[in-house]
Amino acid sequence: MEIMLVIVSLIFIGYISKYIGILREEDRSVLNNIVVYISMPSTVFLTILKNLSPRELPLFIKLSILIFVIFSLCGVIGYILGRCLKLDRRSIGGLILVCALGNTGFLGYPVIYGFYGDPGLVRAIFCDMGSVIASLLIGTFVGVTFGERKSDNTFLYIIGELLRFPPFIACMLSIVSVILGIGIEDIPNFLVDTLSYLSKATVPLIMISLGLSLSPASAKFTIKYGILALLVRLGVAPLLALILSNLFSIEGLERKVLILQSAMPSAMMSLVFSLLYKLDVKLVASACFITTIASLIILPILKKVLTL
């Protein structure tokens, strides 16, 4: 529970900084760039290199695949809910995104690291890689299908974005290093220390950026759809993870991390896709706020349940 208080405090610092004028909401793009291009790749590279062995690789890749399946199924549920509620195309697209995409990186990393340390974080990273692929595939497909902006090269766009995503590149480099038998001891000390310092900036910068992104005003719009997203993201998704972990014999820490990562709130990337493809931005913003705030209470409870 203490780690959640730390996370809440860091989010609060970002939120208050915005309202007293120290930082602006637009500054989150700068913080996000630092995280995505500098600190998070350092975290990914060091964590995998320190905690992954070649024999564990097939199991961890299985986590990536299962997260992708879970998020895809949640997207289908979002589509069914949208059709049952007779929403327009833009709103259906927004509902699919907030039901399907979970914040496995910007909230998942700090939460899992706080709960389980580096062993948990390396598993969270592989879950996040599956989430990144799901985000690009689902986000682009939904945007092109339900939004106003069309694309003639959807597949090439997705591949290009994935290959340019620094944490994904760092993950691939570290996996290749592990396979080749290159360990942390084979890297010069000054480089390891540099990456370590950069890595330590990941969690606080992520949380402050998240605080800048949150806006209570957005929750008053389409609040009922935010609650629907909450039920899917923090209810149905972990249930699917539990079922799939039983079917595929995922046990121990892998099982706990898979369930918790599947239960992360709606990803802020949903808002990026909704803006890019002109989906229902108010619905998406409301769902991101509601699910994020609720997750700060629900995730520690879920972690307690998993230890029983």
User: What pLDDT score was predicted for residue 278?
Assistant: 85
Q: State which residues form the domain around 299.
A: 2-8+27-306
The CA-based angle 157-264-163, given to 5 degrees, is 25
The CA-based angle 137-284-68, given to 5 degrees, is 30
Per the CB < 8 A criterion, the answer to whether 298 and 107 are in contact is: no
Q: What SS3 string covers 17-61? A: HHHCCCCCHHHHHHHHHHHHHHHHHHHHHHHHHHHCCHHHHHHHH
Q: What is the domain count for the chain?
A: 1
Q: What is the pTM of this model?
A: 0.88
CATH number for 201:
1.20.1530.20
41-65 pLDDT per residue, tens? 999 999 999 988 899 999 999 999 9
Is 191 inside any structural domain?
A: yes
Is 78 inside any structural domain?
A: yes
Per the CB < 8 A criterion, the answer to whether 42 and 202 are in contact is: yes
Is 16 inside any structural domain?
A: no
Is 212 inside any structural domain?
A: yes
Give φ, ψ of 266 to 5 degrees. Answer: -55, 135
As a whole number of angstroms, the distance between CA 308 and CA 287 comes to 30
- Regions of the chain short of the pLDDT cut 70: 1, 149-155, 218-222
Is 14 inside any structural domain?
A: no
Is 60 inside any structural domain?
A: yes
User: What pLDDT score was predicted for residue 296?
Assistant: 92
264-298 pLDDT per residue, tens? 999 988 888 888 788 988 898 889 989 999 999 99
Is 22 inside any structural domain?
A: no
User: What pLDDT score was predicted for residue 150?
Assistant: 60
Is 13 inside any structural domain?
A: no
